[in-house]
Every structure is written in structure tokens, then in C-alpha cells.
Amino acid sequence: MQTITLKGPLKGEITVPGDKSMTHRAIIFASLVKGKSVIYQPLLGEDCLRTAKIFEKLGVKMTITSEKIVIDSPGYQDFKTPRQCLYTGNSGTTTRLLAGLFGGMGLRSVLSGDASIAKRPMNRILQPLQKMNINMSGVDENYTPLIVMPSQVRGIDYQMPVASAQVKSAILLAGLFANEETVIHEIEMSRNHTETMFAHYQIPVETNQLTVTLPPRGIDHIVARDFYVPGDISSAAFLIVAALITPNSDITIHNVGINPTRDGIIEIVQKMGGCLTLTQQTDGPEPTATLRVQYTPHLKGIEIGGSLIPRCIDELPVIALLCTQAASSSIIKDAEELKVKETNRIDTTANELSKLGLKLKPTEDGLIIEPSTVSRLSDLDSHTDHRIGMMLAVASLLTEQSVHIHQFESVNVSFPGFLPMLKQLENEG
């Protein structure tokens, strides 16, 4: 159990850890291509290290330091067949992306994770991958372990039933090895990191509104490239909210990724009237900016739904916390996807914050949130979900009392050093 006592104001300049989604993908692509690649400023959280360790088992050499990962790969053609189960921990990204990749490669393998992963639905990737002629099965056709057997992948023309970057990515990674074109039609724009990373590693991919097209044998185009990982906006979101709700706070966050499929938190804060400014913007496939955030006492309530949801899906627990500090009620809707994350984040967010007296009512697809203050204290629990753990730590800024959070170590999945960084900002204030 972690005891947290934080007092504002928060002041200072910081850099958040590298983007989780892009670190995963950079490790994958650098491992596929023969030769040496360097990934700079990676996120060395538990999830990304799971991905790295799996490729090490396939014969990829990695030198991992806090500043970079140096990858020396024999190339995918010379991967070793793994002689043991490949453990993915509680990383949905590792599990789903590598299922697509290994299915496309025809690499005989078993992917299995922890108890949290064992509850998360895999039929959303199994169904399209099986339609691609991939020989893959799961428990009850929906759960890990996933067993991949050799097969010859075929291209597919697929209508996505849900907006999910992980499902889209699994299909694209499998399609790299197909002799036919792969076409994906999205129902809403989801994160496009796989597509931007394809482009970085010279793999041709075309996006036309909601349709993504990958030509036959995309893998044949891949080249070894170094990659600089931008700061993770999902991690920055917790510090953004912390500064907005803590009197007299003024913080600057450098090198934050502001990919337009991910920047929902910025739009939401601006609609609520929060004091957030962007400077030093870069203009590449993965744009970045410096964010300055200042305490904002009179935030407006807001309705969050539709196409905005995929752009802020991981940040919604801490956005819900932010909405409790608005002057009027807020609604989050169209967010059913939250139910199949590390926890059911709709219910978990409402239940944990209500222990502090904050007023959130879960609905089928989101939350109704009323302006409220911390009126009582109770032991809290991350439920092994890193984003819930960080959200609860930020909530502790609303009271001068100590807050106790069980299973707080889960934050190491995406933001090692989160609490020390908050303490640093507190001390600088």
C-alpha cells in the first residue's frame, strides 16, 4: 500500500516518459528488420519490456538503458521458434499486436499473460485473423492463452466492428506477410501509430479518410531506422489535470506527442476553459509540442462523446476526475470500450472516486459527473490498473490529508517515477 500526501502548488518544467504505443511499435519494427537500430527515449515500463523480452527469446539482441534501446536483429526470417510460452504480463498491446504479427509470420507460438489479460476479450482479433487464414485459437475463442500455428496468411477487406487501434494494428501486422492487399474500413478514426510507424520504417501504407490500405508483402519494404520516441500524452494528461485542479499551479511539459488521433485531452481542456497553451510545435508524422498548464478555478462542465472518445480513451479516468471540479455537471458517453481495459474503467473510476465523496454515476457507456469535493477518506485501490492508480494519486491533491492506495505499484506499467515527479513539482512550488 502507498501512502500519498501531496500539497500544491505544482510548479516547474518536466518531461514525461516516452510514448507507450510508439515504444511497443518501434521495438517490433526494429526487431523485424535485419541489422542495428536505436530507439531513443523509450518508455521502459513493464508493458514495453514484455514486448522487448519476447523478441529476445526469438534471437534479437537488445541493449537497454534509460536513454535508449539498441536492437541488433537477425531479421524475422531467422527468428528462432520459441520453446516456451511467451509471457505478455498485463499488456493488451503486446498480446494483440504480437498475435497479429506472429499469425502473419506463421510463427509457432503461445501467447499468455497474467490474470488481468486472461479476462480481456480476444475474439475481436481472433475473428479477423482467422478470416485471413491464420491458424490461431484461444480459450473459448475469446481468451488467452492464444495458440498460433504455421499457416499462409491471406489479405482481407475488413469492416471494423469497433474503433480499436489494437485490432486495426493486429490486422495490419498480419497483412504485412500476405500476398494480397489488406484493406481496413474503420467506423471511427482510431489511433494511427501503426500507420505512422509503417511510414517511418518505409513500409507503404495508404489512409483515405476511414480506409487504410496495405499493399501485398509490405514486409519486403522494411528498412532499419532509428526512432526518437515523443513524450506520452496519456502520461502528460495526469499532470495536466493535476495542475488544472491545484491552486496556484503552473507547470510546463516538454516534448509531448500531439498526434491528432490522440490529442482529445487538449480539446477537452480547452472546451472546459482550462488554461493550457501549446508552443514549440513540430510538424512530422508524430508531431510534438511544449504544453504550459495553469490552475483554472472556473472550469465549465462538458459533454464528451462521439469521435472525441477514441482520441482520449486512455485518459478518461483522469478526465472524469477533472470534471468533478467543474462548475456544472458533465457527461461522458459512447465509451463502452472502457469496460474492456485493464479493469472496467467506467465502474472502477466511479467506485474509487466515490470513496472520497466525489459524485460520479456510471452508465452503460460512460459516466454522469456532478461538481463535488473530497468529503471523506477511505483506502483506495488501483485494481492493478496503472491509469486508475495515477488518477487516484492526482485526486489526493484535492485533500490535505494522506491518501492510501493499494496496488499502487501498477503505475510502473506506463509511468515509472510518476510519484517522484509529482513530488518534484510540489517541492519546486
DSSP assignment letter at 115: T
Same domain, 258 and 117: no
> If the chain, 429 residues long, is cut into consecutive pieces of 10 residues, what is the mean pLDDT of each piece?
94 94 96 97 93 98 96 97 95 96 98 92 96 97 96 98 93 98 94 94 96 98 95 96 98 96 96 98 91 97 95 95 98 90 89 97 96 96 95 97 96 91 89
Q: Going by DSSP bridges, is the β-strand pair 250-257/11-15 parallel, antiparallel, or unpaired? A: parallel
Contacts 24+ apart (CB under 8 A), 333-336: 333/303, 333/304, 333/305, 333/363, 333/365, 333/366, 334/305, 334/306, 334/309, 334/365, 334/366, 335/304, 335/305, 335/309, 335/365, 335/366, 335/367, 336/364, 336/365
Same domain, 244 and 176: no
Same domain, 243 and 389: yes
Same domain, 170 and 252: no
Residue 279: CB atoms within 10 Å: 10
φ, ψ at 157 (rounded to 5°)? -110, 105
Q: Which residue, of 228, 249, 280, is where some domain finishes? A: 228
In total, how many domains does the chain have? 2
Q: Where are the alpha helices (DSSP H) in 41-108?
A: 46-57, 92-105
Q: Which residue, of 165, 193, 228, is where some domain finishes? A: 228
Residue 428's pLDDT is: 80
Selected catalytic residue, list 47, 263, 314, 381:
314
Q: Which residue, of 228, 261, 281, is where some domain finishes? A: 228
Residue 347's pLDDT is: 94
With cell 515523443, the residue in question is 230
Answer yes or no: 283 catalytic.
no
Alpha-carbon gap, residue 192 to 261, rounded angstroms: 7
Residue burial 391-415, b: 16+ Cβ < 10 Å; e: rest = bbbbbbbbbeeebbbbbbebbbbbb
Cα 64 to chain centroid, rounded: 21
- Sign of the torsion formed by the C-alpha atoms of 399, 402, 407 and 412: positive
Same domain, 208 and 344: no
* 324 contact partners, CB below 8 Å, separation of at least 6: 353, 358, 359, 360, 369, 370, 371, 372
Same domain, 306 and 324: yes
CATH of the domain at 322: 3.65.10.10
* Contact by Cβ (8 Å): 246, 5: no
Instruction: For residue 230, say if its preceding peptide bond is cis, omega within 30 degrees of 0.
Output: no
Number of H helices, E strands in the chain: 12, 23
Residue 295's pLDDT is: 98
Same domain, 202 and 213: yes
Global pTM reads 0.87
CA angle 125, 129, 135 (to 5 degrees): 120
**Grid coordinates standing for 129?**
485473423
- Sign of the torsion formed by the C-alpha atoms of 125, 97, 223 and 151: negative
**Grid coordinates standing for 62?**
537488445
Same domain, 204 and 292: no
| 3-class DSSP state of 73 | strand
Same domain, 102 and 187: yes
Same domain, 317 and 361: yes
Same domain, 348 and 208: no
The whole domain housing 10 covers: 2-18+230-428
Alpha-carbon gap, residue 88 to 50, rounded angstroms: 6
Alpha-carbon gap, residue 218 to 358, rounded angstroms: 50
Same domain, 165 and 254: no
